[in-house]
Copies of this chain bind each other. A is one copy, B any other.
Amino acid sequence: MLETLFTKIETMSAIQLRIEDKEYIKSRFQSRKMVKRQYLLHQGDVCRYIGYIVSGSCKMYSIDDKGHEHIIRLGVDGYWLGDYESFYLSAPSRYHIIMMEDTRLMLIDKKDLQELIDNVPAIDVLIKNMNIHCIISTQNRIHASISLSAEGKYNELLKTHPIFFKRFPQTMIASYLGISPETLTRVRRSQLSK
């Protein structure tokens, strides 16, 4: 599990980790195996960990007053997970995070992450690059959300995250796109008939 994390850090930071960096990182990340339907975070709690998904999948979602679910993030192998707002501000989260399959995670809390940032240059660069990547992808998602039709949103997600269509059911894809399952079915029928 650790080797996967080291490779991810080296790829995203473009800095090779020294043996002592690896030992240090190993001492700060916690490995955790979770089972399908297990929660990492409940709405109202503070998100204490940012996690790297070694294998498996999860969803981060809110439940509104009417009991409807809204999926803000989906994660599969190689993705990072966590509610950054709650994590960085130590504020109660408005989201749940639940595993969609048996999942292996590498978790780190805020104090340990800051220690790694201060002492391992690769981690400092990793976090900077992750944040920039996160800003870019969320900006693109907002742009798709305000500018595209349901069909356009579907095609954009198919282009940017094809893996989601293999790993998650249609109802979850619809929630992630902010469209109804009926609209998604109509879009898919229209695509298949083209």
Name A's B-contacting residues (CB within 8 A): 62, 64, 68, 70-72, 84-85, 88-89, 94, 127-128, 131-132, 134-136, 138-143, 145-147, 175-178
Q: How far is the CB of A105 from chain B (nearest CB, A)?
A: 20
Contact A135 B135 (CB under 8 A): yes
Contacts of A94 in B (CB 8 A): 143
Contacts of A89 in B (CB 8 A): 136
Contact B178 A145 (CB under 8 A): yes
Contacts of A175 in B (CB 8 A): 146
Contact B146 A178 (CB under 8 A): yes
A64-B147, A146-B176 given; 18 more Cβ-contact pairs under 8 Å:
A68-B147, A70-B143, A72-B143, A72-B146, A84-B135, A85-B140, A88-B136, A94-B143, A128-B128, A135-B135, A135-B138, A138-B138, A142-B145, A145-B145, A145-B178, A146-B175, A146-B177, A147-B178
